[in-house]
Every structure is written in structure tokens, then in C-alpha cells.
Amino acid sequence: MKPNTDIRCRVESCRFHCQGQDFCSLNSIQVEPCNGCGSGNPSDESCCGSYKTK
């Protein structure tokens, strides 16, 4: 996997995460709203739609 230094990521359970480097290996990602969002809390409002479990 080659790290994409434009996409920082700390989600170690994702198959595209470059372990120990905190980068994603994808060329781009899709950011999507979380189900049931609307709280106004940034961590509740969006998620990575490109996430895939290892």
C-alpha cells in the first residue's frame, strides 16, 4: 500500500489504512452523512463512505 499524504486517517480497522503512518492508501474518499445525524456535533455528522473492514 502506498500512503496518500493528502488523506490523513487514524482508523486502523480499515483495510486502506497505512499502518503506522496515519494515512489512507486510496486516491480519494467519499465523505457521507451518518445515519440519524443532525446533532451538530462534528463527530456525529459525517463518516468515511470508503471504509472497508480489514
Cβ neighbourhood burial of 25 (10 Å; 0-12, 13-18, 19+): middle
Q: pTM to 2 decimals? A: 0.81
Average pLDDT value for residue range 14-28: 97
**Confidence at residue 40, expressed as pLDDT on a 0 to 100 scale:** 78
Confidence of residue 15 (pLDDT cuts 50, 70, 90): very high
How do residues 44-54 score in pLDDT, each as one tens digit? 788 999 999 99
Of 6-10, 30-34, 37-41, the least confident = 37-41
